[in-house]
Amino acid sequence: MDETFRQVGAAGRAAYGSAKDTGRAMRRLFSAELALARSAFGRALAWVAVGIVFGASAWLLVTGALIALLQRFGWSWLQSLSFVAAISLVVTGVAVWKVGHYFDLTGMHATRRQLSRLGLLDEKDDEPTPPETPAP
């Protein structure tokens, strides 16, 4: 019986050591992943900036070419500039509308509503409270 308790104790210590080593490995992996994600995020932002700069300059060249083409077709400067500006304003309006829509989706409304129902989050504006009925 004594030998069985020693074997069980040794197995428990081995399991604890293994779990501790696994926890350390997971912590190192998590730290490495965070460092990689941080580096990748910075590089992605840099490339986004490059894309925005070159996209904006390409759009300016396209609008300039469109204005020149409209001039060749006999449109006045005012008409061709107004037409290209209207196109830009319509695309900008659609983009603003879509950004607002997608930012609204990031609000995690269903999660916040469930947390509020559990009493873990106090948000009065998400869900109307039912009227209280007086006790008879």
Residue tagged 């998590």 (tokens):
30
- Mean pLDDT confidence for 118-130: 64
Q: CB of 120 within 8 A of CB of 134?
A: no
CB atoms closer than 10 angstroms to residue 101: 9
Q: How many CB atoms lie within 10 A of CB 59?
A: 12
pTM (2 decimals)?
Answer: 0.56
Predicted pLDDT at 132: 63
Whether the predicted pLDDT of 22 surpasses 80: yes
Q: What is the rounded CA–CA span in Å between residue 52 and residue 38? A: 21
Take residue 42 and report the two structure tokens written for it.
């910075």
pLDDT tens digits for range 43-101: 999 999 999 999 999 999 999 999 999 999 999 999 999 999 999 999 999 999 999 99
pLDDT at 131: 58
Q: Report how far residue 108's alpha carbon sits from residue 47's, in angstroms, rounded to the nearest whole number.
A: 29
Please state the φ and ψ torsions of residue 29, each to the nearest 5 degrees.
-65, -45
Burial-class residue 70 by CB neighbours within 10 Å (0-12, 13-18, 19+): middle
pLDDT at 129 over 60: no
